[in-house]
Amino acid sequence: MSRLTLTQAINAGLRKAMEDDPKVVLMGEDIGTLGGVFRVTDGLMKDFGSHRVIDTPLAESAIIGTAVGLAYRGFRPVCEIQFDGFIYPGFDQIVSQVAKLHMRTHGQVRMPLTIRVPFGGGIGSPEHHSESPEAYFVHTSGLRVISASNPQDAYTLLRQAIACDDPVMFFEPKRRYHAKGEVDLDADLTRAPAMGASRVVHAGTDVTLVTYGPLVATALDAAKAAADDGISLEVVDLRSLSPLDYGPIEESVRRTGRVVITHEASETLGLGAEVAAGITERCFNYLEAAPVRVTGFDIPYPPSKLEKHHLPDLDRMLDGVDRALGRPNSLSGLEG
């Protein structure tokens, strides 16, 4: 076991994947000499050479599009998109090529790309540096979408993503990049939890709180705070955003009858909509209240001095929990 930050864990995961498979190449802006603006690829160019850690020209569509060509040729490219807000110029290549090529070619051409995206807010950055674009990709058939919330998961999930023959969007909660945790660097991948599996990270009995990525830590704090208040929260870390693994949530909601979903992305068609709809379909007769969403608002990401008013925090989560429990809360007295 090693104690690593999230960035160090991802770095270790990349290193391991490159050691294990010579076909793994990294591509992105500033990932080589600089080691990435978040230093996630620190040292890798030095150790693996500039033919496997490729500083690319400044063009996201080309980063994805040439990775498609490399995949055609049998490589397993791992692309870094510098910040969430810069994924959109590459959107066409992701949606029309990466996601569809395997089906288009009747399974003959595989697209084992991993597209790493530091995402989410809370780091005081200017516009376009705090987006939560995961829903766009969850809605895109042909992709798998992952978000790790802690160093161990980041290490394991990234290795699984790179080893996966399907394209994987890998969302890294950048505001947790410096969070530390124990990582078993030698763990056997075949014995790790499946890449598609969600997980109960805090057991509880009153309300199920579902989240992923950057808000898992906040949700765990909320669970502690709620406990002080006599409310027992069960926290589920989705880990896989696509496909969703309803198993643990279903099991939990059948016990609690109440569910709160929280994420930074905007509410409308954010992941919470799918979880709410999916859990209602699966557990209608067990639900005591409508699933509650605690999310970013339906606004473009605000200037950083306002981000605390956009991002769900512990208090807003607990307010949502109150709503799920029918306790006095911010919406009490309002219809609907």
Partner 1 sequence: MLEASANSGASPQTGIHQLIAADGTSVADGELDPFVADVDDAQLVRLYSDMVAIRRIDVEATALQRQGQLALWPPMLGQEASQVGSLRALGGDDFIFPTYRENGVAYLRGADLAGIMSTWRGSANTGWDPYKFNMATPQIIIGSQTLHATGYAMGLVLDGKETLSIAYLGDGATSQGDVHESMVFAASFQAPVIFFCQNNHWAISEPVGLQAHVPIAGRAPGYGIPSLRVDGNDVLAVLAATRWAAARARSGGGPSFIEAVTYRMGAHTTADDPTRYRGVTELEEWGAKDPIARVKALLQGRGKLDDDAEAAVARRADAVAAELREGTINLPDPAPLSVFDNVYTTEHAILDRQRDHYERYLAGFAPTDGTTLEGSRS
Ligand X SMILES: Cc1ncc(C[n+]2csc(CCOP(=O)(O)OP(=O)(O)O)c2C)c(N)n1
For residue 35, the minimal CB distance to ligand X (Å) is: 15
For residue 120, the minimal CB distance to ligand X (Å) is: 17
For residue 241, the minimal CB distance to partner 1 (Å) is: 11
Q: Which one, 89 or 193, has the nearer CB to ligand X?
A: 89
Binding partner at 67 among partner 1, its own copies, ligand X, none, C-beta below 5 to 8 Å by kind: partner 1
For residue 230, the minimal CB distance to ligand X (Å) is: 47
For CA atoms 193, 95, 249, 322, the dihedral sign is positive
Among 129, 202, 263, 310, the active-site one is 129
Interface residue with partner 1, options 15, 163, 180, 297 (CB under 8 A): 297
Question: Is residue 254 a contact point for partner 1 (CB under 8 A)?
Answer: no
Q: Identify residues 255-284 at the interface with partner 1 (CB under 8 A).
A: 267-268
H helix and E strand count, the chain: 11, 14
Question: Is residue 96 a contact point for its own copies (CB under 8 A)?
Answer: yes
For residue 36, the minimal CB distance to its own copies (Å) is: 22
Question: b/e map of 219-233 (b: 16 or more CB within 10 Å)?
Answer: bbbbbebbeeeebeb
> Which amino acid belongs to residue 244?
L
Q: Report whether 6 contacts 216 (CB < 8 A).
A: no
- Binding string, 201-240, against partner 1, x = CB under 8 A? ----------------------------------------
Radius of gyration of the chain (CA): 20
Q: Which one, 3 or 309, has the nearer CB to partner 1?
A: 309
- Binding string, 102-121, against its own copies, x = CB under 8 A? -xx-----------------
Sequence-ordered strand ranges (E) for 52-111? 53-55, 76-80
Q: Which one, 3 or 247, has the nearer CB to partner 1?
A: 247
And the tokens for 163? 């080893």
Q: Which residues pair with 196 in a beta bridge?
A: none
Question: Is residue 35 a contact point for its own copies (CB under 8 A)?
Answer: no
Three-class SS of residue 280?
helix
And the tokens for 187? 């763990």
Binding partner at 270 among its own copies, partner 1, ligand X, none, C-beta below 5 to 8 Å by kind: its own copies
Q: Which one, 227 or 269, has the nearer CB to partner 1?
A: 269
Per CB under 8 A, which region of 6-14, 91-99, 230-238, 254-262 contacts partner 1?
A: 91-99
Question: Is residue 142 a contact point for partner 1 (CB under 8 A)?
Answer: yes
Pairing mode of beta strands 180-183, 207-211 = unpaired
DSSP string, 143-166: -EEEE--SHHHHHHHHHHHHH-SS
Q: Which residues pair with 293 in a beta bridge?
A: 261
The CA-atom distances, in angstroms, between 54 and each of 41, 259, 311 are 11, 44, 35
Interface residue with ligand X, options 23, 39, 55, 86 (CB under 6 A): 86
CA distance 54 to 29: 8
Question: Is residue 278 a contact point for ligand X (CB under 6 A)?
Answer: no
Q: Which one, 30 or 88, has the nearer CB to its own copies?
A: 88
Helix axis angle, 215-228 to 314-325, nearest 10°: 60
Which positions are catalytic? 129
